[in-house]
Every structure is written in C-alpha cells, then in structure tokens.
Chain A
Amino acid sequence: MSAAATALATIVAIVAIGTTVGFVAGARVRMDLEQWTVGGRGFGVVLVFLLMAGEVYTTFAFLGASGWAYSRGGPTLYVLAYLTLAYVVSFFVLPQLWEVGRRHGLQTQADFFRVRYGNRWLAGFVCIVGIASFVPYLQLQITGIGIIASVASYGDIGRTPAMAVAVALLVAFVFASGVRAVAWVSVVKDALMVFAALAIGIGVPLIHFGGIAPMFAALVHTHSAHLTMPGATPNLGHGWFISTVLLTSLGFYMWPHAFGAAFTARSADTLRRNAVVMPLYTLTLAFIFFAGFAAVLIVPGLGNGDLAMLTVVRQSFPAWFLGVVGGAGALTAMVPASIFILTAATLFAKNLYRPLFAPQMSDPQVARLARAMVVVIGLISLTLAIYSSTTLVSLLLTGYAGVTQFFPGVVLGLYSRRVTAPAVFAGMIVGVVTAVSLMLSHHDPLFGVSAGFLALCVNFLVTISTMLLTRRPT
C-alpha cells in the first residue's frame, strides 16, 4: 500500500470506530427533545467531563493552536492562559446556572434569557447571535477536516470533496443520536487525541533535535523574537494578550453548547468539581505547542500555518502514524462540530422559530424542524468553508467576539435582581454592533486591544447605565 493509502485507511477506520460507538450509545435511549438535547439531565462527573472536554478540544486546539505557534509565535500562548482561566470563571457561573435550569426545566441558553428576563425578543436575539457565532466555529472544524484529508493523502484528495463527505457524515451522526452519542464518541476521541498530542509533542523534537530542550535552544538561537509577544505579528502584544484572554475566558461558557452542557449535569456540585479538574486537560495543548514550534525549524516557509503540525508529522513518522493523528484530528473536528450543529438547530427550532412565528407547534414538530435545520446549518458552514481562507484561530476569535456579548446578561442575570431586560438588550445590541463593525472594518485589534473585548466593555457600560437610568422607584 502506498503511504497515502495507508494513512487514509487508518483515518477512515478510526472515524468509523468513533461514529459506531456514538450510534450504539444513541440507539439504546428513546429520543424525545429533552433526551436529544440535554441527555435527560442525568450526567454525572465523568460524562459531563467527557462532554465538555469533547467540545473544548476541537480542531482549533489540534491544528489551529499549533498553526499559530508556527506562523505567529508568542501570541499563541494566550490559548494556555484562556483555557485554564475559563474553568476558573465557570466555577462561579455554571453551578448557579444549573440551579436556574433545574428549577425551570431549561434546555438551552435562550431558555435562560426568556425565563430570567421574560422577554421573548431578547431570547430570539440571543438565538440569532448564538447561531451566527457558531457558523465560523463550525467552518473551522470543517476546514480542519479538509486540511487533514489533503495532507494525509499527500495532496491526492482535494479539500472540498473531503469536507463534503465529512459534513454528510456529521449530519447523519447528529440525526441518529443526539447529545448522549456525542459524549461517548468523546471517549474515543479524547484518548486518541491525548495519545497523539504526547507522541507528537515529545516525538517530533526528539527525532529532529534529540529532545524538547535542545529544540528550544535551537529556536532561541535562530528565532528568539518568535517565542515572545508579539512574535511574528506587528500588533499582538501584551495589551492584545490580556484583552484576548479576558474576552475568551469570560466567553468560553457563553457558547450556547457549553451553556447547554451545564444542564446535562446531575448536580451543581458535579459542575464545581469539573471546574476544579478541567484545567489539567490544558496540559495536552502544551505538547501540541512543542510540535508547532518545532515545525518552525523543520518545515519553514509553509504558506498556511494550519498545515504545520500534520506536515511535520508526515515528515517525522511512518504513514500509519500520520493516519492515527489524522483520525484523531478528524474526530476532534467531528465531535464538537456535531455538538455545534445540534445546538444551533435546537436553538433555531425551539427558541427562535416556535416562540416568534409558530407558537402552536408541538414538541415532536419542533424536534422534526430541528433535524431539518441540522442539514441546513451543515450546508451553510460547508459553503463558507469552501469559499473562505482565514486561519483557524481567527475564525474562533470571530465567534468569541459574538458570544461573549452574552456575558453581562448572564452574570448580572444570575447575581443581580435589579438588572432588567431593556438594559441587557441595549448592552447586547451595542456590544454586537461594536464587535461586528470593528471587525468588518479591519480594526481588530484596535490600538493593540482585541475588538471583541472593547465591545464587551461597551456592552457592560451600556447595560449598567441603562439599568441605573431605568431603575424602578423603591
């Protein structure tokens, strides 16, 4: 067998095993809307951990983070800081959220806004921003699958057909099984990914330099500016680092799917324990960075940094191992992507379409509409993935600029009695408009500060001043 055939066969086998595990897990449980979206609200520490790890460690971590380590250098370290701090923030948000979820039978993020603020237009707006923010995140995953297929086939398989097949598989998978399946595929995916990350992070520097320390010594010698901020970028310095870490760690659990994952937990305590242990998982990423930095010396001059890790693996290991890494990478894209599609579709059907346009719809009808939306959203993201060419990290940061605008509404909603729907609505609209206009006019970062973070500050200011101005007399 040729190297390409070996690598591809391994990838296909791994994806097949992973999806079978998911189908089997899903087949055992009868699916109503609650079961499909929040797994019947009965997940313990282990399943919640798997589900959350499953959606956190996406292709972004696998290819995007190493890609930025390769192409940007120092600024990519923000990833290690933000993932760790996101769990610290979650310790103070998710258990409280779970309480509200249990009291009111909440399934989605928009449910929270509707129940807390009693305003279905606000809830509808949250849905639209959530779904729109998912699109770049989904596009990221699909692009990742395309990269894997084209590198692993040594260029024989084009990215577009690979991405199309992946989306078809994804849709079938979500269709058949729902959230429980996703949690179980995460088991396969995480085991493979940790193995691959350690093997690459230790193996690549060992093969080419005799170890991690000699690799960094060589890198300091030739590329010392690459290792600190702003690295190979003109404007990603310390101001950018601080603002981006704050934006993304506050926004991490504002993603509708992460928000929804909190409702799958059995208790608030489950979520608190989870927040304590999850940061350790970030260690895996350090190894992925080792590989990304090593690639600077081993495969210099790649036009697209996101190819760096797989290219360096291809040059350092036998074809079957490239297949294992590619398979881990493919599952690492597909597991989160199926969660994103599932969440976006549920949001559309249950929280946007039914309350605003068709209040008479029954639950089974909503479930059917959600399934139809799975297909639609899959196709939209595929189209965007085919026609766009941004780095994986930029795609993620675009989504974050959107979802983090929910943060004031969620946190004030949990901890303050005084905050009102008009205040949150005004802040959110101003925040989203600020973020979108800064990014579309290419002002991200603005004065060395992340545009999404500036938008979040404006959002908070508007929310709080509206709240004070419209205060009811006591």
Chain B
Amino acid sequence: MPDHEGARRARRPAPAAVLLALIPLTAMCLMVPLWDRIDPMPLGLPFNLFWLICWIVLTPLLMWGAYRIEARRHRPDGTDP
C-alpha cells in the first residue's frame, strides 16, 4: 500500500522543550509518594494540596520556556517551514 498523504510525519519537538515538560510530570505525578502528606502545612494547607497548587502556577512558566523554544522553530503563523 502506498503512503497516504496523511502519513507525512510531524516535526519532532525540540529535546529541550520535552525536558521542560517532563519536570511538571515528575513533580505532580511520579513523585507522589514523596509529597502526599499533611505536614508541614505552608499557609495552613495540607502539604499535598499546597504542592499541587504550586505546580499549577509553575507549569505555565516552564511551558512558556518550551513555547519560546518551539516558536523559534516555526513560522510566525504557526506552520512548519
């Protein structure tokens, strides 16, 4: 069977962008046994809730970095060169 037109491969993301994305994944998901506890209670919140809220705020910062890296590799209208 010939390749379909749709089989054109998308451009792989920059390794640096992927690395940035792996940080929140590790912190919010894989590290759960380390942060799933009540004490200490910063701002009076249980530690697990506090930790997740922190990462909700930190993730856009990291992904903004990933965006800067990716945006440089694409045309301003977002299409691949």
* Complex contacts, A269 vs chain B, CB 8 Å: 71, 74, 76-78
Residue of A77, A84, A104, A275 ringed by the most chain B CB atoms within 10 A: A84
Residue of B9, B52, B71 ringed by the most chain A CB atoms within 10 A: B52
**Least Cβ–Cβ distance between B33 and chain A, in angstroms:** 5
Q: With contacts A84-B55, A227-B38 known, is A276 near B63, CB below 8 A?
A: yes
Surface stretch bound by B, among A14-22, A311-319, A401-409, A413-421: A413-421
Contact A74–B25 (Cβ < 8 Å): no
Partner of A228, one of B10, B37, B41, B79: B37
| Interface residues of chain B: helix, strand, loop or mixed (majority) | helix
Partner of B32, one of A116, A242, A267, A276: A242
**Least Cβ–Cβ distance between B11 and chain A, in angstroms:** 8
Say yes or no for A191: interface residue by CB 8 A criterion. Answer: no
Q: With contacts A115-B6, A229-B36 known, is A81 near B71, CB below 8 A?
A: no
A153 to B36, CA, bound (A): 39
A212 to B67, CA, bound (A): 35
Which residues 269-318 of A sit at the B interface, judged by CB distance below 8 A? 269-273, 275-277, 279-280, 282-283, 286, 289
Q: Which residue of A lies closest to B28 (CB)?
A: A81
A117 to B4, CA, bound (A): 7
Contact B21–A92 (Cβ < 8 Å): yes
**Least Cβ–Cβ distance between B7 and chain A, in angstroms:** 6
**Least Cβ–Cβ distance between A418 and chain B, in angstroms:** 10
Surface stretch bound by B, among A1-9, A93-101, A443-451: A93-101
**Least Cβ–Cβ distance between A223 and chain B, in angstroms:** 11
Surface stretch bound by B, among A169-177, A178-186, A213-221, A363-371: A213-221
A460 to B18, CA, bound (A): 20
**Least Cβ–Cβ distance between B1 and chain A, in angstroms:** 7
Partner of B24, one of A85, A238, A417: A85
Q: Which residue of B lies closest to A280 (CB)?
A: B60
Partner of B78, one of A80, A224, A270, A416: A270
Say yes or no for A158: interface residue by CB 8 A criterion. Answer: no
A100 to B11, CA, bound (A): 12
Interface residues on B, range: 35 or more
Partner of A272, one of B25, B45, B78: B78
Q: How many A residues touch B, CB cutoff 8 Å?
A: 60
A224 to B59, CA, bound (A): 29
Partner of A84, one of B5, B13, B24, B43: B24
Contact B60–A80 (Cβ < 8 Å): no
Say yes or no for A88: interface residue by CB 8 A criterion. Answer: yes
**Least Cβ–Cβ distance between B30 and chain A, in angstroms:** 6
* Complex contacts, A154 vs chain B, CB 8 Å: none
Partner of A283, one of B11, B25, B37, B53: B53
Q: With contacts A74-B36, A229-B36, A268-B79 known, is A283 near B49, CB below 8 A?
A: no
A188 to B80, CA, bound (A): 36
Say yes or no for A91: interface residue by CB 8 A criterion. Answer: yes
Among all A-B residue pairs, the 10 with the closest Cβ atoms: A213-B44, A269-B78, A268-B78, A267-B78, A96-B10, A115-B6, A116-B6, A81-B28, A80-B52, A414-B10
List 15 A-B pairs, Cβ < 8 Å.
A81-B52, A85-B24, A85-B25, A87-B59, A92-B13, A92-B17, A99-B79, A228-B48, A229-B32, A238-B33, A245-B29, A275-B67, A276-B60, A289-B49, A415-B12
Chain B residues with a Cβ under 8 A of chain A: 1, 3-13, 17-18, 21, 24-25, 28-30, 32-33, 36-38, 41, 43-46, 48-49, 52-53, 55-57, 59-60, 63-64, 66-67, 70-71, 74, 76-80
Given A100-B10, A115-B5, list of 7 further CB < 8 A pairs?
A84-B55, A85-B29, A103-B8, A116-B4, A117-B4, A245-B28, A269-B74
Chain A residues with a Cβ under 8 A of chain B: 74, 77, 80-81, 84-85, 87-88, 91-92, 95-96, 98-100, 102-104, 112, 115-118, 211-214, 216-217, 220, 224, 227-229, 238, 241-242, 245-246, 249, 267-273, 275-277, 279-280, 282-283, 286, 289, 414-417
